[in-house]
């Protein structure tokens, strides 16, 4: 019988309140492919070390998992990242996995969340439904993305425009480390004279940085900045990975995963 493995690769998190986003994706993928042995891998060595020191957890890196699979003669391996974009972190994974293409007979790599046009539209529909309620007439729906200097940052601009193209006139996306910026979002709210906003992260995991940057009490958090401008906020601290519909998208990406050449 062919030995098959599914490896779900994440950046990782050490925040107990955020880890459910990753375990949810992992569990949904594991249930969808029961004929594959399941493995978890984190790419952040800092998080791996911290979990080892504080929780006694031994999380493997992608290299460690793949070495193990080679030693145990696995013939088919699918690696599925939980990343959002084809940015630097995804490129690092591609580089690592590419080194094993001649060691595993069939080695596949799935896409991150946002690649095809349908990926964007499907994610947009999930995002606007995530609050579980209708927005009030004077309320904006604002998503906070990470942002990057990589060319993949264009995906944030695409999603921001797409939200409104799909009819969600008061939905906006800003980023912490890229564009569109928070100032861009605030400009849109000022233009429309919106004095309420529902804030949500557009990240797989709502970890420590998300909780500080979005909902922290410091002056430069989005919550504080909105408050200083007289905008009432409702904050939903849930990573995208907590949503079963997002997890199902990764299942579908596994199904279309291509061979690593």
- Catalytic residue, chosen from 146, 150, 157, 253, is 146
Tokens of 36: 């594959």
Phi, psi of 240 (to 5 degrees): -60, -30
Sequence-ordered alpha helix ranges (H) in the chain: 20-32, 45-55, 62-71, 88-98, 117-129, 154-165, 182-192, 208-215, 222-228, 244-255
Asked if the bond preceding 198 is cis, omega within 30° of 0, the reply is: no
- Whether residue 9 contacts residue 44, with contact meaning beta carbons closer than 8 Å, is answered with no
Torsion of CA 112, 116, 119, 121, to 10 degrees: 150
209 is catalytic: no
CA angle 189–126–20, rounded 5-degree value: 105
Residues known to be catalytic: 146
């Amino acid at each position: 019988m062919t030995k098959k493995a599914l490896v779900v690769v994440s950046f990782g998190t050490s925040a107990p309140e955020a880890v459910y986003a990753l375990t949810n994706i992992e569990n949904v993928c594991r249930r969808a492919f029961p004929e594959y042995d399941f493995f978890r891998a984190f790419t952040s060595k800092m998080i791996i070390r911290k979990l080892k020191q504080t929780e006694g957890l031994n999380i493997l890196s992608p290299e460690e998992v793949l070495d193990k699979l080679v030693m145990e003669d696995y013939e088919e391996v699918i690696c599925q990242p939980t990343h959002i974009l084809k940015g630097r972190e995804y490129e690092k994974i591609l580089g690592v996995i590419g080194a094993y293409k001649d060691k595993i007979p069939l080695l596949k790599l799935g896409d991150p969340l946002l690649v095809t046009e349908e990926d964007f539209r499907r994610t947009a529909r999930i995002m606007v439904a995530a609050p579980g309620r209708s927005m009030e007439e004077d309320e904006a729906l604002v998503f906070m993305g990470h942002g990057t200097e990589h060319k993949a940052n264009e995906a944030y601009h695409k999603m921001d425009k797409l939200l409104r193209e799909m009819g969600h006139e008061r939905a906006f996306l800003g980023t912490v480390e890229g564009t569109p910026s928070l100032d861009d979002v605030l400009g849109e709210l000022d233009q429309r004279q919106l004095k309420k906003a529902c804030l949500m992260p557009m990240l797989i995991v709502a970890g420590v940085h998300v909780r500080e940057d979005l909902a922290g009490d410091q002056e430069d958090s989005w919550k504080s900045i909105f408050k200083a401008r007289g905008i009432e906020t409702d904050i939903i601290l849930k990573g995208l990975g907590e949503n079963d519909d997002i997890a199902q998208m990764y299942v579908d990406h596994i199904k279309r995963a291509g061979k690593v050449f």
